[in-house]
Structure 1
Amino acid sequence: MMKKKTEKIQKNNQKSFKKEKKNIKKRAKKLATTLNWLDVESIEHNECIINDSGTKYIVRGIKIHPLNIHMLNVDDNYRVIESLAIAFNKINFKFYWKFVYQQPNLDEQNHNLIRILKNEEDKSILNLGDMFLNYHEWYINNFKEISFYFIVMENEKMIDKVYTDLKRFMTETRLMISPMTNDDFRNMIAYDFDNPAIDEYYFSVLKEIERFEFGNNKIGLEEKK
């Protein structure tokens, strides 16, 4: 009886070992594939250097600051969307877009709060300030905020022109923008590795953008001819 139990345990152990070995191979293959997608050579000077089998590309981008269009009236809402549609119509080069969920950055708010409390003597106000600081810490640890980027990737000869055009077109919209920083690129890469559904390509390409048409106070896509 003991011999049969021992043999059964050994068989189960062998099955578990084979299963774990198979899972390890899958993870190793997935990691290798992911690293093949990610050809980042360096991140510096607010740009990302890509080395694709010896061909060097430079990635730059702009960050779109949040705007709640539901807080605008109908006319302002239309003008915001219209300005973005016009900008898309002007873009005649390939560009990329990226959504990134990341930890909220409340450094500026905390710095201002600490500065105000520095010379405060009223204990009730100091306690209130501590409450806000603790709330900020709780918020940072429990919530993610979304960042949205437009990105261009070109060789060294073309990157300045394309990036300048991207900034110019997006500056003409009614959206607030700022250049992507080294931290933005790092957060973008970190989010890809935290995200179980990594895209087929490292950057999501916005392909074959249809032109926008305006009429009857509405914005729509032109029909294919």
Structure 2
Amino acid sequence: MKAIDLLPFSVCTAETDLKIFAEQELMHQALFSVTKYRQQLVNYIAKRPSFLKSLKPLEQDFSAPVIVQHMIEVTQKVNVGPMAAVAGAIAQYLGKDLLKYSSEIIIENGGDIFMHSSKTRYMAVHSKNQQVDPVLEIEPVTGGQGICTSAGTLGHSLSYGNADAVVVRANDTLLADATATSIGNMVKTHKDINLALSYAKSVTGITGILITINKHLGAWGNIKFKE
């Protein structure tokens, strides 16, 4: 992601490594918010270790912090463990906090992006086996949006699939993150693309999906390529 009209800066703490674009440098505000949400997760995991370890959905806990409840809610929809939404959760909750200081916010948390922008932006999808990386056109969405990527052949995130990239769009970044993980696990060969696209259509809140595997590509919904 590039945004030459915005100021880029990085925030790193423990396992969290963020690249942020805003109208001004907000490092201290960002670090405060990231630390707050990370501590909420750490404290909850100490009380409920399965939140960290489970690869299956957990029962909702209405006494938990809002970010925890949100992670449980979206991962129940797509049959993955709650930590499948953690990168999207940090990106979105931090992004919403920073909107108090900047109306344009883009947060990259690994392959997961929260974007609140009034402008059309462009995002390259890095793919191990594509001759040319496709570039997506991301138009503005009121209230912000998530664009999240799961890869079976690149990066360090856990995936049981072999897709080069599964990119999911949704207004809810946590849902996009969890769904990208879920569908990424489904795609073992290019023959799984149509089934994966059909599944994406069934998930309420998903607005678009792109799948690349080897030299094959499939897409559904609000996926536009830069001309």
- Whether TM-score is above 0.5 comes out as no
Name the larger-Rg structure. Answer: 1
Taking CA–CA contacts closer than 8 Å with sequence separation of 6 or more, which of the two structures ends up with the larger relative contact order?
Answer: 1
Normalising by the smaller structure, the TM-score range is under 0.3
